[in-house]
Chains A and B, each alone.
Chain A
Amino acid sequence: MTTLAASGVLRASWLLLAFPVFGAAVLLLGGRRTDKWGHLLACVMSLASFVYGVIAFFTLLGYAAPDRSRDQHMFTWIPVAGFQANLGVLLDPLSISFVLLITGVGSLIHIYSIGYMAHDTDRRRFFAYLNLFISAMLLLVLSDNYLGLYAGWEGVGLASYLLIGFWQFKPTAATAAKKAFIVNRIGDAGLSLAIMLMFAEFGTFNFTGVFSSVGHSGSGVTAALGLLLLLAACGKSAQVPLQSWLLDAMEGPTPVSALIHAATMVTAGVYLIVRSNVIFDLSDTARLAVTVVGAVTLLFGAIIGCAKDDIKKALAGSTMSQIGYMMLGAGLGPAGYVFAIAHLLAHGFFKAGLFLGAGSVMHGMDDEVNMRRYGGLRKFLPITFVTFSLGYLAIIGVPPFSGFFTKDSIIDAAWSKGGTDGWVLAACTIAGAGITAFYMTRLMLMTWFGTKRWEQEGVLGGAGAHPASPEPHIPHPHESALTMTVPMILLAVGSVAAGWFLIVDSRFASFLSPVVGSPPDSHGIFTVPGIIALVLVVGGVGVAWAMYGRVPVPAVAPRGSVLTAAARSDLYGDAFNESVLMRPGQWLTRLSVFFDSRGVDGLVNTLAATIGGTSARLRKVQTGFVRSYALSMLIGAVLLVAGLLVVRL
């Protein structure tokens, strides 16, 4: 892949970043004066980026396939001798795919938020943060070097923090925001170390510079780079072992969960790995680590999703699991990069649609999130029900919905890898597909079917979830406004069509191949592992129906088995962090404080006290009587004379 200078309309690619930055700046600096029209400005800015993205996309399509990588230098950020940090916009098939996802889904979620946040007094601030997020995410995917990517990486972390803690008057939200930020810092440290290592080894962190010289470095360097980048990806994409923040991040408003914690930001880790494909292609160790992380997380998230009664947390577990699929795909090398990104795009559609659907349900149910207090809602929210069902069919991989094409491509790629690890990975992905079908069916049945549990005695809900509903009461579910349903309908269309559009005829594979290389030839639409997965999906749906459809769902959660209890507490991820990391850390700080106060301070204080005490006693010699001074002078003189005599004699 060679990178050419941008020309024509692509020379204005900085506009992509400028629009949302402008929106965020106006809304944040303008303050309350912009309350009336702030949300509209934010939507227009996001849509403007989307429109430019579409124009850029078709401009790129107009070039020959090898010439589709276009770099536009913006400015020199840090010009120091030997250290040139340039900021440039790189438009290539990979980044334009992300641009369209971010601005497209982002704009829909902006529009949805107009309705969802209509009653919030701080709606303008919310839209300012959303625009801030869009700009940071675009910087992340558009930067032509790792330092600019890092700046965007931190920017989305900041936006995520601000938006998770948007209702910071709720202590849980404030804590969740801090947790997300702190856990992400661990991953960020990995990315910054990787960038430092790149600079130390290659003297540059431009994509072109790093990718052209990484081939000449030793296997140790490539493995280290790969593992550090994987650490970064684990933090941002909520992969095991840095997964614990994502479930708590659901404290944020639901559009945030849809945009940041489902469709875009959490997939930045996958982007990072696919973008660094040259590094990963050179290191088997790093690729193996990526696949292991992906496989573990896809099962981990799926199991958590099976036990959660909170609709958003169940979806969050599902997000972890689906990103696990993408990581696994990315770890398979050129055979999987394309499918990881394809699944990412499809997931962006159906998961954002599912989250927006969940938000619509919460909107109608006075911010109730417990699915055990839902039930039979399909008659009350028909549009949401239909769009949600389409997203559901997409995520469990029913043909011809999008998840079927993209997920099965990953399963097939793992299957085709061969060897023991290939078999294990394929088994994990197939099992994951079955579990996905189970928990998504459970979610569907508990929310949309069965009896109306919110009307039952003693199941009053909504208390304290939102300032609008401080008292427990019986909710009156209703369909949401047009601003909310239209985005859901559009996302549902994406959930239905995206997979077919991307995978059939290898459209997406040939589009991305200049950046990430080509996967081996497709095995057709129905493959052996795909059919096994499909059978398991049917099985998962059946089990879920037997457990939650055939028998009534209790309004209060039963005790459940050991596995259920484990999954309810996030498979003890928090307990692990607390006992292995937090408590030893606390002991260490206490030990340090003890050493500091008793050891270091003690030494200094003892010395000072000794000198002070001695001086206090010696001070008494100064009596103030002339005679004692005279006597001491006399004694001194006598001693002096005596000494002189002794020396002389």
Chain B
Amino acid sequence: MNPAHYVFLAVILFVIGAIGVLVRRNAILIFMFVELMLNACNLAFVAFARMHGNLDGQVVAFFVMVVAAAEVVVGLAILMAIYRARRSASVDDASLLKY
């Protein structure tokens, strides 16, 4: 199978994730779309690693997974704090820091 197809799939997944981040208001969903984008990137890394025949992309994919896990922990903690303070998980409600 042509590795280029995986790259196209990664692009499609990334775009879906980006659109999801932009249009959804629920913070948890936004998180999930972010994860989708990260995984699209992972897929692209792995595909490129395969195409070029070296392991660099695969190593980076592992890195991304670890960082994503850490990020989710911190992010969900913040989310919990916001939810407790505001009784809402909508990111539009947390818009105090503006002009």
- CB of B7 to closest CB in A, whole Å: 15
**B21, CB-defined interface residue at 8 Å:** yes
Bound-state CA distance A620–B98 (Å) is 8
**A561, CB-defined interface residue at 8 Å:** no
Q: Which of A58-66, A307-315, A442-450, A624-632 contacts B (4 or more CB under 8 A)?
A: A624-632
- CB of A102 to closest CB in B, whole Å: 78
Q: When the two chains form the complex, which single residue of B21, B92, B94, B99 contacts A630, counting CB atoms closer than 8 Å?
A: B21
Q: When the two chains form the complex, which single residue of A619, A624, A630 contacts B95, counting CB atoms closer than 8 Å?
A: A624
**A623, CB-defined interface residue at 8 Å:** yes
B98 to A631, Cβ gap below 8 A?
A: no
**A610, CB-defined interface residue at 8 Å:** no
**A622, CB-defined interface residue at 8 Å:** yes
Number of residues on chain A facing chain B (CB within 8 A): 11
Mark interface residues in B70-99 (1 if CB within 8 Å of A CB, else 0): 000000000000000000000110111111
**A481, CB-defined interface residue at 8 Å:** no
A619 to B99, Cβ gap below 8 A?
A: yes
SS class of chain B's interface: helix, strand, loop or mixed? loop
Q: When the two chains form the complex, which single residue of A623, A630, A634 contacts B98, counting CB atoms closer than 8 Å?
A: A623
B residues 5-29 near A (Cβ < 8 Å) are: 18, 21-23, 25
- CB of A59 to closest CB in B, whole Å: 90
What's the interface size class on B, roughly?
10 to 19
B97 to A624, Cβ gap below 8 A?
A: yes
Q: Which residues of A contact B96 (CB under 8 A)?
A: 624
B92 to A631, Cβ gap below 8 A?
A: no
Q: Which residues of B contact A626 (CB under 8 A)?
A: 30, 91-92, 94
A627 to B95, Cβ gap below 8 A?
A: no
CB-nearest residue of chain A to B95: A624
B97 to A627, Cβ gap below 8 A?
A: no
Q: Which residues of B contact A623 (CB under 8 A)?
A: 95, 98-99
Mark interface residues in A600-636 (1 if CB within 8 Å of B CB, else 0): 0000000000000000000110111111001100100
A634 to B99, Cβ gap below 8 A?
A: no
CB-nearest residue of chain A to B91: A626
- CB of A415 to closest CB in B, whole Å: 92
B22 to A627, Cβ gap below 8 A?
A: yes
B99 to A622, Cβ gap below 8 A?
A: yes
B91 to A634, Cβ gap below 8 A?
A: no
Q: Which residues of A contact B94 (CB under 8 A)?
A: 626
B22 to A630, Cβ gap below 8 A?
A: yes
A634 to B95, Cβ gap below 8 A?
A: no
B21 to A627, Cβ gap below 8 A?
A: yes
- CB of B90 to closest CB in A, whole Å: 10
Bound-state CA distance A634–B92 (Å) is 18
Q: Which residues of B contact A631 (CB under 8 A)?
A: 22
- CB of B26 to closest CB in A, whole Å: 12
Bound-state CA distance A626–B22 (Å) is 8
Q: Which residues of A contact B97 (CB under 8 A)?
A: 624
CB-nearest residue of chain B to A634: B18
Bound-state CA distance A456–B7 (Å) is 126
B22 to A622, Cβ gap below 8 A?
A: no
Bound-state CA distance A460–B51 (Å) is 124
B residues 32-55 near A (Cβ < 8 Å) are: none
Bound-state CA distance A627–B99 (Å) is 16
Q: Which residues of A contact B18 (CB under 8 A)?
A: 634
Bound-state CA distance A167–B96 (Å) is 70
B23 to A627, Cβ gap below 8 A?
A: yes
Q: Which residues of A contact B92 (CB under 8 A)?
A: 625-627
- CB of B85 to closest CB in A, whole Å: 16
Bound-state CA distance A536–B30 (Å) is 117
A625 to B95, Cβ gap below 8 A?
A: yes
Bound-state CA distance A551–B94 (Å) is 106
Q: Which residues of B contact A619 (CB under 8 A)?
A: 99
- CB of B11 to closest CB in A, whole Å: 12
Q: List 14 A-B contacts (CB under 8 A).
A: A622-B98, A623-B99, A624-B95, A624-B98, A624-B99, A625-B91, A625-B92, A625-B95, A626-B94, A627-B25, A627-B92, A630-B21, A630-B22, A634-B22
Chain A interface (Cβ < 8 Å from any Cβ of B) = 619-620, 622-627, 630-631, 634
9 smallest beta-carbon distances between A and B, as pairs: A624-B98, A624-B95, A619-B99, A626-B91, A622-B99, A622-B98, A627-B22, A625-B95, A631-B22
